[in-house]
A and B are shown apart, each in its own frame.
Chain A
């Protein structure tokens, strides 16, 4: 149960966003630019994967499943493929560039000062631009905010991971701004007693 009365039964960050519409707007604006906008040389899949990876390091069940499912949607892969990246990005079948960016994101998750010049050099060596490194750091940092917001207020999360896969199609289509918070997929909300 959430630590405060959210006056709604929506899961994860959607419950928080329905509770606090003022802060919902800039949060979703930021998510739209960083994760969904096509004005970016990193693919949507790569950007969602960075978010899913950081969320898994932060042990945030809701966020890692929402954004893991989005990466799965964009990569057109299965769930074990995403789980393998989260578990061990170095061993995963992904580009060297994404591996280098995930290494930077992993350091950001620990704290800004953990990012090393060597990690930056490596990312540039495998083709990452300054803007891509900037976006990686800010995506990782933003998820350190989102994860803490979601778990710090004790929101609930659907345990059936397939629900996140169903929702990912909606989010990929709608994007993050003007999000219809109330739109739910079958089986998503708990049975009312």
Chain B
């Protein structure tokens, strides 16, 4: 049960955003820019970074919500998404994405944990300054989102079949206040 009376029974971040639409607006704008852009990193890579950081922060709602979005983009390759979420170093992804996921994991520990070596490695694998910037800010944004969701004890569905329909809604319409104001998708 949430720590405060949200006045709604929407799951995870959706319930918090419906409680506070004023702060939801910039948060959704930020998510739209950072997670939907195709400039440099792909939307899939961006969602995978968020998924891994949410896993490291042990945020059940966020890791499964964003894993489901990545999975939607990857034509339901759940195995790959699960590999990246839990152990990117061993996953079947590019060395560049591995190096960026390593930076994201360091950001999850704290900003000062990012080393010049980790950045040099990402550049060596072809990451641009913008890729590195976006990776750090995506990881940092999830350190906010995960804490917001768990810090207020948001409702967390444990039935994983409820995540893909909501993921499809985000994949098709992007991030915005519609994710809590529109009719909620239901499990197939």
Contact = CB atoms under 8 A, between A and B. Distances in A.
Interface stretch (B90-98, B143-151, B166-174): B143-151
B107 A112 contact: no
Given A137-B147, A138-B23, A140-B151, A23 B30 contact: yes
B110 A112 contact: no
A91 interface: no
B126 interface: no
Given A113-B150, A137-B151, A152 B114 contact: yes
A108 to B, nearest CB: 5
A131 B16 CA distance: 11
A35 to B, nearest CB: 11
Interface residues of B, number: 46
B146 to A, nearest CB: 6
B27 A145 contact: no
A22 interface: yes
A148 B136 contact: yes
B129 A5 contact: yes
Contacts of B177: none
B144 A152 contact: no
Contact of A140 (B4, B20, B119, B147): B147
Interface in A141-170: 141-142, 144-154
A193 interface: no
A151 B109 CA distance: 11
A75 B151 CA distance: 27
A38 interface: no
Interface in B16-44: 16, 19-20, 22-23, 25-27, 29-30, 33-34
A20 interface: yes
Contacts of A25: 29
Contacts of B129: 4-5
B33 A22 contact: yes
In terms of DSSP, what is the predominant structure of the interface of chain A? helix
B152 A153 contact: no
B4 A134 contact: yes
A43 interface: no
Residue with the highest number of chain A CB atoms closer than 10 Å, among B30, B59, B143: B143
Contacts of B133: 4, 16, 19-20, 153
A141 B152 CA distance: 11
B58 A138 contact: no
Contacts of B29: 25-26, 29
Nearest to A116: B3
Given A3-B119, A112-B148, A27 B26 contact: yes
B141 A145 contact: yes
A144 B116 CA distance: 21
A104 B147 CA distance: 11
A107 B152 CA distance: 11
B112 A151 contact: yes
9 contacts: A23-B30, A26-B29, A59-B110, A112-B148, A112-B150, A113-B150, A130-B4, A148-B139, A152-B111
Interface of A: 3-5, 16, 19-20, 22-23, 25-27, 29-30, 33-34, 58-60, 104, 107-108, 111-113, 115, 117, 120, 130-131, 133-134, 137-138, 140-142, 144-154
CB-based closest 7 A-B pairs: A112-B150, A151-B111, A145-B144, A29-B26, A112-B151, A130-B4, A4-B129
